[in-house]
Chains A and B, each alone.
Chain A
Amino acid sequence: MKIHNACLGLMLSVLALPALGQIRNVEFDEFTLKNGLHVILHEDHSTPIVAVTVMYHVGSKNEDTTRTGMAHFFEHLLFEGSENIARGEYDSYVENAGGALNANTTQDRTFYYELLPSNQLELGLWLESERMLHAKIESIGIETQREVVKEEKRQRYDNQPYGQLLPTTMEAVYSEHPYRWTPIGSLDHLNAASDEEFMDFYKKFYVPNNAVLSIAGDIDPKQTKKWIKQYFEDIPRGADIERPSIQEPKRTVEYRDTVLGKDALPMIVQAYPIPAQGTPDYYAVEMLNKVLSGGESSRLNRRVVEEDQLALFCGAFSFGLEDPGVTLAFSMANMGVDPAEVEQAMNEEVNRMKRDLISNRELEKLKNQIESEFIQSNASMAGIAESLANYHMYFGDADLINTEIDRYLAVTKEDIRKAAQQHYNENSRVTLYFLQDPEASK
């Protein structure tokens, strides 16, 4: 009887897995040039556009402790031009060709991209190769971009409601690891850096052996490869990059603090250290967060927002990083509600996850959510190019664009409970209350 039931259960759970065959596979070609530049190409003729992107394996975690903000600053500096591109012309080339461009920096990498009509692919390759080979790193560009970055910091952090939340939290969580500062860094450090230091940073990190060139769209692979060789092959390889290997010491006692600011409603933030992205436990943590926070039927929303009506919103998401990152569970309390009450409700839901297994139906819900996200994530050329580059840079396996979903779908109910028990511990977390300074409304 029991064996029969077990087989039935096994069969049912197998049937519950989505038919992955019907999901479109993202096909791509990849190779590495002699100078270490890794190239990935994805062909798609649906729309006559192409995304030309370069990812450099440098982020805020590669910075010196007295020179934070350099990596992000470079993201701005690399729009200033090159030996063959005059100041202010980089943007014009792209926009006058009917394209769009931008860049972004995280703790671990800097990503540049151009979206162009497909007949302008060569332009994109020229532009990115110019950046890599001999970008202009000089005083006037540095001066101008210093001011722009100052404004960015004001707009994004200083003048934004709860703008200080993330920098404050990261600083509290990490005592040794560079993740303790956020990519925008310190304006004082940027002001103190000399022109030579900027040049050194460029020579160290902006080299082909530290980069991935990822192209997706309406391309002729043969012609594309030819151009890539012409524009990138002669760029000299740089020295091998030493990556920081700082281990953040394990926290054994909870850190709690109250931070005063201008914003009216209390914000409760709890940071739990989690394993690095790509590790087996990481996927269980992601699924755990989905149960807690995925959609309006999720645990935290239902309990804290809908039923107890303690908060405007309540959720949890993982800050997945190359080195061990954090899960942030956060909530904005309703007017007049004691933040301690909100925290208690959040803690109770997390404890529930440690105690009880989720139901089969909940697990099926998670898998449906994962499947839906996965299918819709490969909709744009820019998105595909970035995913391919990410997967290669962090895991050395671009095909994860097709297979990473399996790692999510393999997570069991027991894995989820175990992840909560191992990683969502009171003793290893940081809890911050962000409250309004009574002097603030002036």
Chain B
Amino acid sequence: MNSRNLSPIALLTLATLSLLGINNNTWAQVDRSKAPEPGPQPEIAIGDYTLHTLDNGLKLIVVENHRLPRISWNLTLDVDPPLEGDKSGTASFAGQLMKSGTEKRSKAQIDEAIDFIGARLSTSAQGAFASSLTKHADVALGLMADVVLGATFPEEELEKLRAQTLSNLAANETDPGSISSNLRRRVMYGPDHPYGDVDTEESISAITREDLQLYHETYFRPNVAYLVVVGDITPDDALAKVKELFGPMKWKSRPVPNPVIPVPMRPDGNQVVFAHVPGAVQSVLHLVHTVRLQPGHNDVVPVSVMNSILGGGAFSGRLMQNLREDKAFTYGARCNMSPDDLIGSFDAYANVRNEVTDSAVVEFLYEIKRITEEPVDAETVKNTITNMTGSFARSLERPETVARFALNIERYGLSKDYYRTYLERLAAVTPEDVQRVAQAYLRPEQLHITVAGNKGEVAASLARFDADGEIDFYDAFGRKASNLEAVPEGMTAADVIEAYYEARGGLARFEKLKSLVEIGEMQAGPEMVLEVKTQTVFGEGMHTEISMAGAVMMGQTVTPTFGVNNQQGTQLPMSVEELATYQTSLSSTEYAHLEDMGYEAQLLGIHPNRGNPVYIVEIRKDGSTTKELQFDAESGLLMQVNRAQKSPMGPLQITETFENYRDFEGLLFPTLQTQTANGQQMAFRMTDIQPNAKVDSSLFKK
């Protein structure tokens, strides 16, 4: 504006208005204090596709897009993967090796031909893919046809791949990601489901060339195949090319096996499973369970909204907000509930630093439960839907997206307008829908809580999340592992036992003990207290009486030569086996002289038992195990004894615990002892223990 042409008053007005910040210039002041409103909703158009079925059953889908001079060809087999078991890896090998030699070309020739035109060619157990610039399309497609139809699986190439794969497996043995993946697959699906197959050194070594040929001949058949073409080509041209290279003269249809695959069972109660990663500073944590949900089901859309709220999206999922933004446990926490033709899955995961692994599990369980119990507020649902709408729109930038839609419609039998109506159906999802599907599909009490991490630092803290209180340990390949930690070098069972007596007052003092009287009580019911009295003369006999209100109800007498159980007057002689199990009680140093009594003791390792590490010592006689002793690694005291005992009802697994050690005349004795068998527990509280008290030997007469 030229100020020379304005009157002084106009100038003054303008100047004043400018000072006040109001002017009639071309740009208005912008209000930064709040977010701007969006413009009108743009139209979202989904491209079209054509479908043609060849005489051999091959289904050709074409998505025409001339934006860039390139064409891609994607062959997909619509088959369930076969169960491979001890030849796990066969299908994958067959897929990879298709490209390693055909009747017409060696691998080197195939590689050179593809690289020369700057194209891509890949093959897999479930198909093949090729892409190139338009001008090279005939060459690229010809190469793809050659590998799909003419693969010969040269022995030399098989051995090369095998050597590489074995090296890779060796590398993966310490890779937390691979370890976690193997663990999850194995526990979720089990060994009888194709999804549970895990490649191992043994399985890879067992694969033969015949296996590969058989796989290829069986599954690469046109009647189960879809060929999706995307890019700079018309449907007619695509059809002509495909007929020539993949038509009935070149590729014969044949029935493909379709066995019934069992549905894997979920665990009763949450199970913690752990695989050790040497030197790990983070735990790879995945909480998983199977989900029965197939693609195209009406619940798939509300499930995806629920999933997004719980743990989808980039940053706004509840898991991310809780575990990263609020607690800074992790770089990323997310979840995925995925529908699948065979069996779907739910996986909530994060990599968290060692010290907070247990706290992270608490938060995961909290968020998973919360979304089933509390309805999500309407605004969150609305925002999630907007977010997913945007994501859908953005995915349309790539023509491959339309191709994927076309393939899904055909293979899953979705309605032709499934994707055209997707946004409408998405917009219709309500908070009630979200809660309904959360309750229908989430199983916060049937999770496998899988951890690949540092066993020594992390495992013990996770036992409380397991329904049985016991963590199952696995190796890097999903195989059950010994859950015992190696003991310090040179330590033996004898060392542990010696430490035990030292902790109790010294082995020498126990050697000198002549007799022992133990008096205690047991709560047998609300009003019923039983008195227990055990009198022992070491080397001679042990006599136990259980009384109620002074009247003896049960008793037991054990000597080196006989044993008898007393039930209200009836004498029941003990079997030889039962008597043998009590012999060690006749010694005041029952575990220090096991060898003399014909027993062997072996230190098996360290085990975390309810959060406390314990030494496990196994006692054997004549080759069979008689007892397992657990000594607290810190205090040295005996905490638990596990043994089996024959009974009229069959072998009984008996667990005895020893707690609350107290001092009686300078020696420590446990004042709380429990005995659990057949699901029943008896607890004895010792009120008095008298070392070297007088005992009447006539108690030990038959």
Contacts and interface: CB of A to CB of B under 8 A. Distances in A.
Given A262-B278, A264-B174, A332-B171, A122 B36 contact: yes
Interface in A347-399: 361, 364-365, 368-373, 375-376, 379-381
Contact of A335 (B70, B170, B331): B170
B81 interface: no
Given A95-B315, A115-B394, A368 B118 contact: yes
A148 B688 CA distance: 57
Interface string B149-185: 0000000000010011011101101111000000000
Contact of B324 (A148, A218, A229, A295): A148
Interface string A125-165: 01001100100000000001001101110111011010000
A364 B118 CA distance: 10
A30 to B, nearest CB: 20
B398 interface: yes
Interface string A89-124: 001110111111110000000000001111111110
A151 B108 contact: no
Contacts of B332: 155
A48 interface: yes
A297 interface: yes
Contacts of B38: 97, 117, 119-120, 122-123
A98 B390 CA distance: 4
A25 interface: no
Nearest to A117: B390
Contacts, number: 229
Contact of B314 (A100, A226, A371): A100
B640 interface: no
Contacts of A191: none
A159 B280 contact: yes
B328 A365 contact: no
Interface in A208-236: 218, 226, 229-231
A165 B281 CA distance: 17
B634 interface: no
B625 interface: no
A280 interface: no
A440 interface: yes
Contact of B279 (A118, A381, A442): A442
B329 to A, nearest CB: 7
A318 B325 CA distance: 36
* Most A C-beta atoms less than 10 A away, residue of B117, B328, B389: B328
A231 B34 CA distance: 13
A117 B279 CA distance: 45
B39 A95 contact: no
Interface in B104-152: 107-108, 111-112, 114-119, 132-133, 136
Nearest to A161: B175
Contacts of B42: 48, 117-119, 218
A154 B332 CA distance: 12
A259 interface: no
Given A151-B353, A159-B282, A364-B116, A92 B328 contact: no
Given A119-B38, A335-B167, A441-B174, A375 B314 contact: no
Given A264-B171, A361-B116, A364-B116, A380 B32 contact: no
A90 to B, nearest CB: 9
Contact of B117 (A24, A129, A368, A373): A368
Given A262-B279, A264-B170, A368-B116, A48 B328 contact: no
A88 interface: yes
A23 to B, nearest CB: 8
A276 interface: no
Contacts of A298: 115
A289 to B, nearest CB: 14
Nearest to A24: B68
A88 B325 contact: yes
Contacts of B351: 151, 154-155, 159
Contacts of A373: 118
Interface string B414-439: 00000000000000000000000000
B393 interface: yes
B386 interface: yes
A5 B68 CA distance: 37
B30 interface: yes
- Give the interface size bracket for A toward B: 35 or more
Contacts of A364: 116
A440 B331 contact: no
A230 B30 contact: yes
Contact of B115 (A48, A159, A294, A334): A294
A229 B27 contact: yes
Contact of A375 (B69, B282, B391): B69
A141 to B, nearest CB: 11
B160 A306 contact: yes
Interface string B387-400: 11111011011100
B297 interface: no
A386 B638 CA distance: 67
B282 A155 contact: yes
Contacts of A150: 328, 353
Contacts of A379: 68, 398
* Most B C-beta atoms less than 10 A away, residue of A95, A121, A361, A365: A95
B386 A151 contact: no
A83 B163 CA distance: 59
A310 to B, nearest CB: 10
Interface string B23-54: 00011111011111111111110000000000
Interface in A20-51: 22-24, 46-49
A72 B102 CA distance: 49
B108 A297 contact: yes
A99 B69 contact: no
Contacts of B44: 48
Contacts of B41: 117, 119
Contacts of B37: 122
Nearest to B317: A95
Contacts of B39: 118-122
B701 interface: no
B205 interface: no
B386 A97 contact: yes
B316 interface: yes
A264 B316 contact: no
A263 interface: yes
* Most B C-beta atoms less than 10 A away, residue of A119, A122, A159: A159
A168 interface: no
B702 interface: no
Contacts of A442: 278-279
Nearest to B117: A368
Contact of B281 (A93, A121, A158): A158
B227 interface: no
Contacts of A47: 393-394, 396-397
A306 B108 contact: yes
A226 B29 CA distance: 11
A99 B383 CA distance: 11
A67 interface: no
A312 interface: yes
Given A97-B390, A263-B171, A151 B331 contact: yes
**Minimum-distance CB pairs A-B, first 6:** A98-B390, A147-B328, A372-B118, A48-B42, A295-B115, A119-B39
20 contacts: A24-B67, A46-B397, A49-B393, A95-B316, A95-B387, A98-B388, A117-B41, A117-B393, A123-B36, A148-B324, A151-B352, A155-B282, A159-B280, A161-B175, A296-B115, A306-B108, A309-B163, A312-B167, A376-B70, A381-B397
Given A98-B389, A309-B163, 11 more contacts: A99-B394, A100-B314, A119-B41, A120-B38, A122-B39, A150-B328, A151-B330, A263-B171, A312-B168, A333-B167, A365-B118
Interface of B: 26-30, 32-44, 67-70, 107-108, 111-112, 114-119, 132-133, 136, 160, 163-164, 166-168, 170-171, 173-176, 278-282, 284, 313-316, 321, 324-325, 328-332, 351-353, 383, 386-391, 393-394, 396-398
